[in-house]
Copies of this chain bind each other. A is one copy, B any other.
């Protein structure tokens, strides 16, 4: 039971896009270079973010990605759901029904607890947004590093 590393990639990709100048676009290739991750796989992740309405994509030359929603409106939960899918952590394998043959397809005893636990988990992810993470980034990093990142962005967008 491990979280996909793709979620982490997606979050940081969004963080980079947050620093993007207004209306500018960044290609998947450029993004992958900044994050040091597989270009093709990141492309796949970006498509999921597009389908979830988080990111806007434009094909063709000078195309690329940029945020569609405001960073304040994008929660970590949204990113998680876009990348990981909607299936819940726990799905009964039907042991309870099998133990003593119960006629009614009763939800297994564990489902209630597990669902509640998952909701509690998701609630925390919903409280944090890309914007709040981005402000953390501003506090954490040195001004030097940030300007280096911004100038890289400026020179990369076309």
Contact = CB atoms under 8 A, between A and B. Distances in A.
Interface of A: 1-5, 8-9, 11-12, 15-16, 34-37, 76, 84, 87, 89-93, 95-96, 98-100, 102, 106, 108-110, 113-114, 116-118, 120-125, 128, 133, 136-137, 140-141, 145, 148-149
Given A120-B120, A124-B113, A93 B5 contact: yes
Given A3-B90, A109-B133, A113-B128, A8 B95 contact: yes
A128 to B, nearest CB: 5
Nearest to A85: B1
A96 B141 CA distance: 10
A137 B109 contact: yes
B84 A1 contact: yes
Given A145-B100, A148-B100, A93 B1 contact: no
Contact of A100 (B99, B108, B149): B149
Given A2-B91, A120-B121, 5 more contacts: A109-B136, A109-B137, A113-B125, A117-B121, A117-B125
B89 A1 contact: yes
Nearest to A91: B2
A4 B8 CA distance: 22
